[in-house]
Amino acid sequence: EDQVTQSPEALRLQEGESSSLNCSYTVSGLRGLFWYRQDPGKGPEFLFTLYSAGEEKEKERLKATLTKKESFLHITAPKPEDSATYLCAVTFSGGYNKLIFGAGTRLAVHP
């Protein structure tokens, strides 16, 4: 069964304390892996797309990496405004725009 598992469920960091979020997946015919950020009361906001193992993408304090089984979202020197739920999702061959989402990691960054 196609599925996406994210860990940890919740993460509390001090401002400036770097860490990583994990997304492991089992899917046949992976087309792409995506990271989204969701703030309370809002819809998810697109961050990155990764297509192949070894690929990396960066945006400000965030860096996403991909292996054949999992992806990591590295957060360097986070700030309180980075607090949000981070969602990982995958698409697969024949799925068109059907995304399979993980449950997300709730990140809280405290000053």
| Binding status of residue 62 toward other proteins by CB under 8 A | no
Q: What is the DSSP string of 4-66?
A: EEEE-SEEEEETT--EEEEEEEE-TTEEEEEEEEE-TTS--EEEEEE-STT-EEEETTEEEEE
What residues between 91 and 110 interact with other proteins by CB under 8 A? 91-93, 95-104
Q: How far is the CB of 66 from other proteins (least distance, A)?
A: 12
The reply to whether 72 sits near other proteins by the rule CB under 8 A is no
Tell me: cis bond preceding 44? Omega within 30 of 0 counts: no
**Would you count residue 27 as binding other proteins (CB under 8 A)?**
no
Query: What tokens were used for 32?
Result: 């792409």
Instruction: Say how far apart CA 103 and CA 27 lie, in whole Å.
Output: 16
- Note whether 64 binds other proteins by CB under 8 A: no
Per CB under 8 A, 59 contacts other proteins: no
Question: Binding to other proteins by residue 46, rule CB under 8 A?
Answer: yes
Pick between residue 37 and residue 78 the one whose CB is nearest to other proteins: 37
Question: What residues line the site for other proteins (CB under 8 A)?
Answer: 31-34, 41-46, 49, 51, 87, 89, 91-93, 95-104
